[in-house]
Amino acid sequence: MNQHENPQHAWVLHTRRSTYALGVNAAGFLVHRYWGARLPDAGVPAAPESEGWASFNGPAQLLPEEYPAWGSGLSYVEPCLKATFADGVRALELRYVSVDVNGDTDLVIHLRDSHYPLVVSLFYRAHPDYDLVERFVAITNNGDAPVTLERAFSAQWHPPVGVQYRLSHLTGRWLDEWHIRRDALPHGTTRLESRRIMTGHQHNPWFALDDGEADEERGAVWFGALAWSGSWALTAEVTDFEATMTRVSLGVNDWDFAWQLAPGETFTTPTAVAGWTDGGFGAVSRAMHDYVRDTLLPHGGGKHKVLYNSWEATLFDVDEPGQTALAEVAAEIGVELFVMDDGWFKGRNHDRAGLGDWTPDAKKFPHGLTPLVERVNALGMEFGIWVEPEMINEDSDLYRAHPDWVIHSQNRQRTTARNQMMLNMALPEVQDYTIGWLDALLRNHKITFVKWDANRNVSEPGGWGGREPRELWVRYTQGVYRVFETMRARHPHVIFQSCSGGGGRADLGILRYADQIWASDNTEPAARISIQEGFSQVFPASVMEAWVTDAGTLPLDFRFAVSMCGALGIGANLLHWDAEARRQAREWVALYKEIRALVQLGDQYRLLPAQGQGYSAVQYMAKDASQGVLFVFRTHMAEPATFPMLHLRGLDADAQYMLDGIEGARSGAAWMRAGVQVPLKSEIVWAEGAMEYKIGDFTAAVRRIRRIGA
């Protein structure tokens, strides 16, 4: 931080390759100055000034304000803050008051309303190693009357003016998540959001902006994400000023949102993070991966165990003998963690009953869970379990005792989805109940892994029990976080997995508690290639659990290769696998254990993205460039097929490397620049004078990369 700049109220945050600068201009606005390639301090532009434009737009309309507040002056751009004071005044006028500077990376800028004692503190933290800047905001009411917040975003970001940006984002639906979309941003406001009280399968709070020319390897990209697991909004606004000006805001969704800030109270927004790179979309992902692994995940990226999950094998038909039989085969093929999914608790014979009553079903487990846990441990595996803490069936003791604990609206039907309703996690008593049974479950059993599911979104969002009903959206998520936080503190060794019918709760907020995410309920491997690729835009492979199941008809080799691109799991009915399938599985699991550190902790390069193509490749490389692994997939290619050159990445140009399946060592430079073909060929067989194709579709290659010599 440049202390000497402070008299001018101007600040510069540097990361290794980028610079982010802001300052107070002569008119008193806190404005953005620069965000892009690293600049010497002297080269950073001064805080922009503006007198507005014509009688229709005041200065605030044209200035890139860091945190625009609504209501004063001729400004119509998307604000970050909107509030109503007790006397009915709805216009905010924020002025710079002071700054706290902590070292080179941390900055807190305090703004205050010109009349009312409302203080808005903007927190900035630069992460030099990832070229990222984190931001969040604390809004404090120092007055003696309440203030109602109606929008309180986390940040507004300003990529350079004069560029027509393309927005990359992720879309989907249940069973079909993580489509990467790249759309030219139109003038006007583009809004991505969730109104579901959860992150949602439909859109993810992540964005990347480029000029339309960036690719996996090259090009400037401005990108960011929001660390929040509830309803959220992203607005990308393009105006005509300065030959197109683009602003991207991220925060808690203001749809049906209000927050009553009583005297002395503070509202703190979730954190938004954003970064810049000139290394294209691949570099965006690697920056996000490192940031997630190093700074968010409770167990830091980990080398996750190969797990078995019972869901697709047994559905609700779970009992001690059945699970034991599966566990025995799982152990035989090298599984390290056995996870019992849905169906184990009281009355849970189908999805119409049981949610809420978190004690083992007495018919299925007459002696409780301990005998199974001990058996699994004796087989050399750890034990994990599935729970769905936020949900309740009408047919449950909990609902019979506490029908009022359900989120509902007076005089309205309670809509069930998958026969379940949602508990009002905003209520402290519901949080305490959840903490109580979950804590007991973890205390009384040797459980090292918890899959936390949430299989529906909100309906009839009535109040939450407190003064302002529209606080529900935020208080619900805060309640979920409180339960997670308590569990993390009491059971720090436990690994949590975030699941919401697959990838419905995947965000940087939940990753502070959960080390893993179940990316999709779709385990069909051909579909999974694109799902995993989309997921990798934001999240590292260690976070992505990936099961080999019986879904579809594709060969076991192909299924394993696909799932080995994440944290490998098996979700098939192992009792249906014959001796040969189990033998093959054992070999794949053994190979995975050798390469998992590369996949889970290395740098990922999408060498040839699938995105609708029939041939794709992804590489994971150790941080020290000593070894890596290359996965190549052929889904469908018309014959005669030609196989593109794959240019390896992340190698030391001067060192010598071997690639499995290719004779002789070559320099890193040769592998990277000249590239290599990995054909996955069809075979042509001449049978009795007729030609027969053994088509090479749905084959895969897993090739290790090894540096030789010093």
Q: Which positions are annotated as active-site residues? A: 453, 521
How far is 39 from 17, CA to CA, in rounded Å? 9
Q: Does 518 bind ligand GLA (CB under 6 A)?
A: yes
Q: Does 384 bind ligand GLA (CB under 6 A)?
A: no
Number of residues that bind ligand GLA (CB under 6 A): 11
Candidates 62, 167, 372, 499; binder of ligand GLA (CB under 6 A) is 499
For the bound state, the minimum distance from the C-beta of residue 501 to ligand GLA, rounded and expressed in Å, comes to 5
For the bound state, the minimum distance from the C-beta of residue 505 to ligand GLA, rounded and expressed in Å, comes to 10
How far is 566 from 172, CA to CA, in rounded Å? 20
Pick between residue 65 and residue 342 the one whose CB is nearest to ligand GLA: 342
For the bound state, the minimum distance from the C-beta of residue 388 to ligand GLA, rounded and expressed in Å, comes to 7
Return the DSSP state at 295: I
For the bound state, the minimum distance from the C-beta of residue 435 to ligand GLA, rounded and expressed in Å, comes to 22
Within 233-350, where are the H helices? Answer: 280-291, 311-314, 320-332
Pick between residue 280 and residue 504 the one whose CB is nearest to ligand GLA: 504
> CA distances (Å), 648 to each of 26, 629, 634, 667, 674, in order?
51, 10, 18, 11, 9
Selection from 163, 279, 187 nearest residue 238 by Cα: 187
Q: Does residue 145 contact residue 283 with C-beta atoms inside 8 Å?
A: no
Give Cβ neighbours of residue 72 (< 8 Å, ≥ 6 apart).
Answer: 60, 91, 92, 93
Pick between residue 329 and residue 499 the one whose CB is nearest to ligand GLA: 499
How far is 211 from 585, CA to CA, in rounded Å? 45
Write out the H or E segment, with its range, that includes residue 693: strand 690-694
Query: Could you tell me if residue 300 is left (phi over 0), alpha (psi between -120 and 50 degrees) or otherwise beta?
Result: left
Q: Does residue 680 contact residue 700 with C-beta atoms inside 8 Å?
A: yes
For the bound state, the minimum distance from the C-beta of residue 556 to ligand GLA, rounded and expressed in Å, comes to 21
For the bound state, the minimum distance from the C-beta of residue 571 to ligand GLA, rounded and expressed in Å, comes to 8
Pick between residue 44 and residue 506 the one whose CB is nearest to ligand GLA: 506
Burial 180-198, CB ≥16 within 10 A → b, else e? beeeebeeeebebbbbbbb
Question: What six digits make up the tokens of 606?
Answer: 């999408």
For the bound state, the minimum distance from the C-beta of residue 354 to ligand GLA, rounded and expressed in Å, comes to 11
In this chain, which stretch among 4-12, 62-70, 495-503, 561-569 interacts with ligand GLA, using CB under 6 A? 495-503
Q: Does 361 bind ligand GLA (CB under 6 A)?
A: no
* Parallel/antiparallel/unpaired status of strands 656-659 and 699-708: antiparallel
Q: Does residue 188 contact residue 147 with C-beta atoms inside 8 Å?
A: no
In this chain, which stretch among 247-255, 427-435, 498-506, 674-682 interacts with ligand GLA, using CB under 6 A? 498-506
How far is 153 from 271, CA to CA, in rounded Å? 10
Q: Does 342 bind ligand GLA (CB under 6 A)?
A: yes
Burial 680-705, CB ≥16 within 10 A → b, else e? bebeeeeeeeeeeeeebbbbbbbbbb
Question: What six digits make up the tokens of 337?
Answer: 């963690």
Q: Does 310 bind ligand GLA (CB under 6 A)?
A: no
Q: Does 497 bind ligand GLA (CB under 6 A)?
A: no
Residue 74: strand, helix, or coil: coil
Say which residue the tokens 């010599």 belong to: 709
Pick between residue 59 and residue 354 the one whose CB is nearest to ligand GLA: 354
For the bound state, the minimum distance from the C-beta of residue 408 to ligand GLA, rounded and expressed in Å, comes to 23
Q: Does 521 bind ligand GLA (CB under 6 A)?
A: yes
Question: Residues 443 to 472: which contact ligand GLA by CB under 6 A?
Answer: 453, 455
Q: Does 341 bind ligand GLA (CB under 6 A)?
A: yes
In this chain, which stretch among 53-61, 402-410, 499-507, 574-582 interacts with ligand GLA, using CB under 6 A? 499-507
Instruction: Verify cis geometry, omega within 30 degrees of 0, for the bond prior to 640.
Output: yes
Candidates 386, 481, 592, 605; binder of ligand GLA (CB under 6 A) is 386
Pick between residue 341 and residue 382 the one whose CB is nearest to ligand GLA: 341
Pick between residue 385 and residue 680 the one whose CB is nearest to ligand GLA: 385
How far is 580 from 589, CA to CA, in rounded Å? 14
Question: Residues 525 to 564: which contact ligand GLA by CB under 6 A?
Answer: none
Say which residue the tokens 């019986």 belong to: 550
Return the DSSP state at 239: E
In this chain, which stretch among 254-262, 329-337, 494-502, 685-693 interacts with ligand GLA, using CB under 6 A? 494-502
Q: Does 514 bind ligand GLA (CB under 6 A)?
A: no
Q: Does 502 bind ligand GLA (CB under 6 A)?
A: yes
Pick between residue 67 and residue 311 the one whose CB is nearest to ligand GLA: 311
Q: Does 390 bind ligand GLA (CB under 6 A)?
A: no
Q: Does residue 354 contact residue 396 with C-beta atoms inside 8 Å?
A: yes
For the bound state, the minimum distance from the C-beta of residue 386 to ligand GLA, rounded and expressed in Å, comes to 5
For the bound state, the minimum distance from the C-beta of residue 500 to ligand GLA, rounded and expressed in Å, comes to 7
Pick between residue 140 and residue 310 the one whose CB is nearest to ligand GLA: 310
The distance from CA 319 to its chain's CA centroid, rounded to whole angstroms, is 33
Candidates 311, 539, 592, 615; binder of ligand GLA (CB under 6 A) is 311
How far is 525 from 472, CA to CA, in rounded Å? 39
Chain residue at closest Cβ approach to ligand GLA: 342
Pick between residue 113 and residue 341 the one whose CB is nearest to ligand GLA: 341
Residue 76: strand, helix, or coil: coil
Beta bridge partners of 122: 109, 137
Q: Does 569 bind ligand GLA (CB under 6 A)?
A: no
Pick between residue 518 and residue 605 the one whose CB is nearest to ligand GLA: 518
Q: Does 501 bind ligand GLA (CB under 6 A)?
A: yes
For the bound state, the minimum distance from the C-beta of residue 349 to ligand GLA, rounded and expressed in Å, comes to 12
State the burial class of residue 429 (Cβ atoms within 10 Å of its Cβ: 0-12, 13-18, 19+): exposed
Binding site for ligand GLA (CB under 6 A): 311, 341-342, 386, 453, 455, 499, 501-502, 518, 521
